[in-house]
Chains A and B, each alone.
Chain A
Amino acid sequence: MAAVLETQGLCAFYGATQVLHGVDLAVEAGGITALLGANGAGKTTLLRALSAMVRREGLIRFEGNALKAREAEDVARLGIAHVPDGRGTFLDLTVEQNLHLGAYTRRDRSAVASELERAFAYFPRLKERRSQQAGTLSGGEQQMLAISRALMLGPKLLMLDEPSFGLAPLVVKDIFNILRAINEEEGVSMLIVEQNANLALNLAGYAYLLETGSVVISGPSSAVRADESVRRVYLGY
């Protein structure tokens, strides 16, 4: 498997508390990789460590080179888009301003304009609401906005923190279908954190299961799904 991003022995800390204990992970280039686990397993922290938002140790390789960026803004500038937990919406700005901020680091205006049209093509609802304040959007629309904002960066890797969080099942289904379409049509590699293991395993080609800061099971989604303990604990049948 060709990896767009790899970690070796990744550790992460909040102050003196160590949350990740030597995680080895690979995100397939052009594929979707899922990160599963219960509350507090370290999934969100892993994304934060990749984005240099928390103190970290260990090796991270992005597109074959060691990721040296020390600040979150530098990681974004390398083409790693991160949709944080809580969606990171700029609530007082309009939908369109939110999207333009996603392309803040890009100077090519015509590319940004076509990126905007592309986002509106995937999420027509956002086009209808383009001049509305983002804080007035529904949860599902805000998630669509967060994904679109990340796409505006023209990312090589898209990291999503629980895109299904707090949304109605039908909305989740819509959003996951669009994520699949984006992955297939644009070839954007994705790393998706999910609590809903069933949902994530349907979408992803590879999956990792985190427990208290370490990877306990990893492999192709079909293999992870077939694992007896995953089935019982995380899929519930």
Chain B
Amino acid sequence: MIGLTHQILSGLAIGSIYACVALAVVMIYQATHLVNFAQGEMAMFSTYIAWALIQAGAPYWAAFFLTLVFSFAMGMAIERWLIRRFERAPVLAVVIVFIGMLVIINSLAGFLFSYTIKSFESPFPEKFALGNGFMSPHELGSIGVTFAVLGLVYAFFRFTPLGLAMRAAAQNPVSARLVGIRVGHMLAIGWGLAAAIGAVAGMMAAPIVYLDPNMMGGILLYGFAAALLGGIDNPWGAALGGFIVGVLENIAGAYLVGEEIKLSVALAIIVGVLVAKPSGLFGRVLVTRV
């Protein structure tokens, strides 16, 4: 029983990282109806920037927030200079661009920082005052950081004029432009936010999976599974999906399939959801008149 509780709690912790990745994926999906396959590599690259800043002597949280700023700028730049050129391109062309970005960012990180696996520090103390033995301070801290991210994103979209304009631009771009909203800027800001949220996931994941150019591969797969499970058009469903997938992965890894093939659990979830409930647990069923 204690073992199961432990698996569930640590599943929630890793799930919080999937939740952030899923949220980043959904944010771009909602605005453009495209799934950014390079989301994980962008997060990985951001994590290297944080690592470099810490190596250069920056305190952890200063490096953390500087990395968010860097990631935001990187996301915006990628949208403005690269993705925008494919605005009217067929979906398949954009998919190829995303895969190309994945490979390029991966190689660039390897070239700049080498493929050697590096350790990445956790901002949370080794021994926790309230330590209950079930969760490490880093696990508890990751969950806390994720909830902070979710809260900030919710407040941004719910209470600020810019957040409202971004929702309007995503829902009805034509009408948004007619009230004077610069839809192009909104897309760029959406990419920036997604990149920053992904960076949080990367920095929370790195102390667990260690830092190397391929660190986000499995995590991105779980993030996609989470987004599909929760509903790719519902950010809160996707975040909840992250936690569910984290717990399922851990339980399956411990009791059902073993550690070696537990990554296949993500694939099983994706396939299962697509077959049983294509719109996800909390997604909307799109009905189109033909």
Contacts and interface: CB of A to CB of B under 8 A. Distances in A.
Contacts of B167: 90, 92-93
A104 B179 contact: yes
A97 to B, nearest CB: 6
A77 B178 CA distance: 9
Contacts of A53: 174, 177
A211 to B, nearest CB: 27
A88 B172 contact: yes
Contacts of A88: 172, 174-175, 178
B179 A149 contact: yes
A153 B180 contact: yes
Given A100-B164, A101-B164, A101-B165, A91 B171 contact: yes
B177 A73 contact: yes
18 contacts: A73-B182, A73-B183, A76-B177, A76-B180, A81-B178, A82-B178, A88-B178, A90-B168, A90-B176, A91-B172, A92-B167, A92-B171, A93-B167, A93-B171, A101-B165, A101-B168, A101-B176, A104-B168
Interface string B153-167: 000000001001101
A105 B171 contact: no
Interface residues of B, number: 17
A44 interface: no
Interface of B: 161, 164-165, 167-168, 171-172, 174-183
A41 interface: no
B232 to A, nearest CB: 16
Interface in A121-180: 149, 153
Contacts of B182: 71, 73
Nearest to A83: B178
Contacts of B176: 90, 101
B171 A72 contact: no
B30 to A, nearest CB: 11
B164 A153 contact: no
A90 B180 contact: no
A77 B171 CA distance: 21
Contacts of B181: 73, 101, 104
B233 to A, nearest CB: 10
A102 interface: yes
Given A97-B164, A101-B164, A90 B178 contact: no
A126 B165 CA distance: 21
Nearest to A72: B177
Nearest to B158: A97
Contacts of B174: 53, 72, 84, 88
Nearest to A78: B180
Contact of A93 (B168, B178, B183): B168
